[in-house]
Structure 1
Amino acid sequence: MSERRILIVGRRDSEVLQFLETLTGSLPSHQHSESHAGLTHTLTLKTQYYTSTIPIWIDEITDPVEWSTAYASKEAKEVRQVLGAIIYVFKRPTSEAEFTDMVTEDLKGVGKVVKACGYSWDGVCLAVAMPHSMQPQVSKSAEEWDDVTMEYGFEFVDFEAKGRNDYGEPVGMERLREALEANDWNAPMSFGLDDLDDDELDELAGDDPIDKDGNVKNGLKLEANEMEQEMFGLHQAILGEGKDGEDDDDDDEEFQVEQLEAAMQRLQGVKDMISELPEDQKRAFAAKAVADVMKTL
């Protein structure tokens, strides 16, 4: 079973359980009240690369500020570290007031938790619109909903949509499953800038983290720029091997390249984050961040 989890959240009336049953084919056996807070379930994903059973945590948003404050807190660090996907489920609003007061505020709160997961977190963020029995509903096109949810880092999914869009891409639940299958469920736990305390930095670099030459004393002397160059060389080597070996598996090669490119993107995030740190923490943070990315290769 994967160590990473899917967190599904939504209001009590957001039809979270209807969404869950459609996604997994079943409902939790231990459902005991009208609230879906605290329920757990599993999702089995099977692709040509892996088969994995993903644990699902289900929670309920009553107050988005309180909810996000709790999940973004230091105390919730271990919870955030094991998340591989966050799915926000909501009913289509029936008025602009409902859209502003509920959907937008919920997205702000859930987006705050995503930020708290840290720069290196590479999980999936999806916002799923469920049908509403009441009419009229707020009229927004899929493109408009995309703009709304992307502002908070979420991809919009229309629960009722079927088939493919104008670009030939799957929509609706088919797209949601595709996004989950493409995620790296075996990636190491992520950490955020706020998760690094003084003890962890001292452990990384010792009492005097930088020597007279400006190197980290724990042996991890590669900074993000140097690591990026080394990975670029590895990228070229992979491509070269693909040309020379007649029996190489093309699908496996493509998968390796995608993994490498994703790691390089995370390194770019490392560089961006390092620029915001005090000078005395930059190298120690870079060392830990680079080591974290190395585990994914």
Structure 2
Amino acid sequence: MTQDVQNPRRILAVSLDTEGHHLSRIITELTGSSPEPVEDSLAGTSHQLPLTTAYYSADVPIWLDLVSSPHEWSETFLSDEAKEVLEVLGALVVVFSSSVSPRDTAGQAVESGTTIAKPTSGDLLREIGRVVKDGLGGWEWDGVALAIGAGEDSTFADDWEDCCAELGLEFVSVRGGDKDQGRNEFGETMGIARVLEALQANNWASGSEDPGQDGADSDEDQFDLDPDNLDFAMGDPSDFEGLRQAIWGEISARESAAAATEKADADGETKEGPTVENPDPFESGPDDVEKIEKLMMKLKATREMGEGLPEAQRKKMAKKAVLEVMKEL
């Protein structure tokens, strides 16, 4: 049964005040409707993102903000007064122009008395990273941190991806049009589709909401896979074979249960359900097998990203990755 998430956590979406047009475009493409400025500015306005998956539905509020001084902005959000705001966030999204190299934008805003030079995308990302790490808990945060690079030119996409990863942000390049169609070499969706996918995989239930409301299970209970038991995060290559088998087993079990239920309903059986032979997952079509292999590559990339982190954080990353993969399947 699909869970109707009441009072979901919020999305905070920001950009530099000089790049509000990028923020407006991304929000419009993501939600299907344009945010309405107040007094010709998006700062302080709100919008709504309807999310519907096989497991839940939610109308997630989006808070929009334009930043003129990244350092002052981060100081405000790291203050004691802002703790309640951070506690209700489920996602932090920063939109910026990625058409120039990070080397040309990082750390150029320098205080000069009371005057601060024009801030850059690098300045904003650095301060966003501070808020994610010091205000939201970094890797311990049960939320999504996205850095969306807007612009048709993807020349510096790899550089921005490395820069954002160091700050605890997932970089997504949104070029628009046909350039973002399909999947990349890792089997991942691109552009707005990837942004939506990342947000859909998040847990939007607020802390006060019962995750089992309406008979629905929480995200962590929807699948029997347990990355902790599989030691997925510990670095043993053989773990991935066990994980692959577990994914196929979970899919097969669900397909068998669904088939049994449908046949029982059709036959009108009440005492004993029909016996349904478990399908052999390795007899699935080539498209299914290819999809699984691409997702396994994604999980491997997640493990590599976690190298050097404490064990608890690596396991948290692994668990989120497995849940996201299972939802995509």
Q: Same fold (TM over 0.5)?
A: yes
> Per-residue CA shift, 1:164-183, capped at 9, x if unaligned?
10122111111110000000
Partner of 1:152 in structure 2?
167
* One-letter code aligned to 1:180: L
SS in 1 for 2:18: coil
Q: Percent same amino acid among aligned pairs?
A: 37
Residues 167-176 or 119-128, more deviating: 119-128
Matched, 1:126 2:146: yes
Matched, 1:11 2:11: no
Matches within 5 A, 1:86-97: 86-94=92-100, 96-97=103-104
Contact 1:87–1:127, Cα closer than 8 Å, also in 2: yes
* One-letter code aligned to 2:172: V
| Distance change >3 Å, CA 158–CA 92, structure 1 → 2 | same
- The normalised TM-score by structure 1 is 0.60
| Distance change >3 Å, CA 138–CA 48, structure 1 → 2 | closer
Tell me how far 1:159 sits from its aligned partner.
Answer: 1.1
Residues of 2 paired with 1:28 and 1:144: CA distance? 30
Contact 1:94–1:138, Cα closer than 8 Å, also in 2: no
RMSD: 3.5
Residues of 1 paired with 2:189 and 2:151: CA distance? 19
Pick aligned residue for 1:268 from 312, 317, 320: 312
SS in 2 for 1:114: helix
Contact 2:99–2:151, Cα closer than 8 Å, also in 1: no
Partner of 2:43 in structure 1?
37
Residues of 2 paired with 1:70 and 1:52: CA distance? 29
| Distance change >3 Å, CA 75–CA 8, structure 1 → 2 | same
* One-letter code aligned to 2:200: E
Contact 1:93–1:99, Cα closer than 8 Å, also in 2: no
Residues of 1 paired with 2:256 and 2:184: CA distance? 37
SS in 1 for 2:51: strand
Residues of 2 paired with 1:268 and 1:97: CA distance? 36
Matched, 1:112 2:130: yes
Equivalent residue pairs, number? 206
State the 4+ residue runs in structure 1 displaced beyond 3 angstroms.
Answer: 93-100, 242-250
- The normalised TM-score by structure 2 is 0.55
Q: Which runs of 5+ in 1 are unaligned?
A: 190-230, 233-238, 251-264, 273-297
